[in-house]
Amino acid sequence: MSASVPEYLAHRPASSFRRWTERENVFSWLLIGPPILFLIALVGYPFLYGIWLSLQDRPVAHAGKFVGLANFVADFHDPVFWKVAVNTFVYTFFATILKMVGGLALALTMNQDFRFKNAIRAMMLLPFIVPTVLSTIAWMWMLDPGFSVINWLLKYTGIADPGPSWLGNPYLAMMSLIIVNVWRGLPFYAITLLAGLQTISPDLYEAATIDGASAWQRFIHVTLPLLRPVIFIVTMFSVIFTFADFQLVYVLTRGGPANATHLFATYAFDIAMGGGQLGMGASVALAMLPPLALIIIAMSVYMKPNKS
C-alpha cells in the first residue's frame, strides 16, 4: 500500500488549513471572491449610486440635495424626454427587424458551398470588429451635406439633383442612423445564425424533401423552429445594445436636428456631461431600464422556444 503512494505525498502533513481550502465550497469562494468584489465595487455600487443620484438635485462639483422623485416628475413633463423615448423605440425596432431579416437572409445565402467562403466570412465581420467610432466617421463623410458620395451617385444616375441632406432632415437622419446601425450589426446576426444553421442535421431536410416539402415549407417547418433559440438570444443582445446605443448617435448627429435623433443614452449624456446636472441625467438613464426590461420579458414570452 504505502509503496504505491508517491514520495512527495508521504511527507506532506495534511494540515487542517490545507484540508479546509481543499473543500469545494471554500476553494470555489476563494477563487470567486476577488472578481465578485471587483464587480460589486464597479458595477453593483455604481448602479445603486446611480439610483441615489437620480433622487437628488446634483449639479456637478456641488453637494447634492435629496429631492425624491422630482427628477422623474420633471422628465415626465419634459416634451423632449418623450421625443427621446419615441426615437429610441423607433431606432431599436427598425434596426432590429432589419438586422434580423437581413442577417437571416445572409446566413441562408452563406450556408451554401462556394469558393473563398472563409475569406468572405472573415471580411463580412469587418464592420463589427472595426472600432465603431472610426467606421462611423467614414459614414459621416459619406453622408456629408456638401460632398456626400451617395448624393454624387444620385446625381450621376439622374435620380436626384441635388440629393437630400441626409443628416439635416429629421426623418432622413433617423433613417441614416438605422442604416449605419444595421451595417455594423448585421454581420453579428449573420455569423451567429450561420453557426446555428450549421448545427441543423441535413437528415432533417432530406426527410422533409422525401415527404414532399417545398423549399419554402422546409424553411418554415424545419429551419425556423430549430433556429428559434439562436434567433432569440441574438435578438435579445441586439435589442439591449441598440436600445442603449450611444456611439453612433454621438458621432453622426449628436441628437440633432432638433432632438430628432436623441436616444436615452445621448440625452442623458447631454444633461449630465453637457449641462452638468448629474441627478437629472441619472434619472433619464434609469428611465431606460423599465422599457428595456419589458421588451426582454415580452420577447422571452413570445420567442422563447419550449424547453424539451
Binders of other proteins among 101-140, rule CB under 8 A? 105-106, 109-114, 118, 120-127, 129-135, 137-139
Interface residue with other proteins, options 28, 214, 217, 300 (CB under 8 A): 28
Q: Which residues from 33-52 bind other proteins, rule CB under 8 A?
A: 34-36, 38-39, 42-43, 45-47, 49-50
Q: Which residues from 218-247 bind other proteins, rule CB under 8 A?
A: 229-230, 233-234, 237, 240-241, 243-244, 246-247
Q: How many residues bind other proteins (CB under 8 A)?
A: 100
Does 165 contact other proteins by CB under 8 A? no
The piece of 77-85, 166-174, 188-196, 299-307 that touches other proteins (CB under 8 A) is 188-196
Interface residue with other proteins, options 84, 91, 98, 187 (CB under 8 A): 187
Q: Which residues from 267-286 bind other proteins, rule CB under 8 A?
A: 268-269, 272-273, 278, 281-282, 285-286
Binding mask 76-105 for other proteins (x = CB under 8 A): -----------------------------x
Name residue, grid cell 419615441.
86
Interface residue with other proteins, options 69, 86, 159, 195 (CB under 8 A): 195
Interface residue with other proteins, options 57, 205, 219, 276 (CB under 8 A): 205
Does 206 contact other proteins by CB under 8 A? yes
Residues 282 and 224: their CA atoms lie apart, in Å, by 41
Between residues 35 and 158, which has the closer beta carbon with respect to other proteins? 35
Between residues 26 and 258, which has the closer beta carbon with respect to other proteins? 26
Q: How far is the CB of 250 from other proteins (least distance, A)?
A: 8
Residues 303 and 283: their CA atoms lie apart, in Å, by 31
Does 191 contact other proteins by CB under 8 A? yes
Buried residues in 106-125 as b, exposed as e (16+ CB within 10 A): bbbebeeeeeeeeeeeeebe
Interface residue with other proteins, options 20, 66, 82, 147 (CB under 8 A): 147
Interface residue with other proteins, options 250, 257, 299, 303 (CB under 8 A): 250
Interface residue with other proteins, options 17, 24, 68, 216 (CB under 8 A): 24
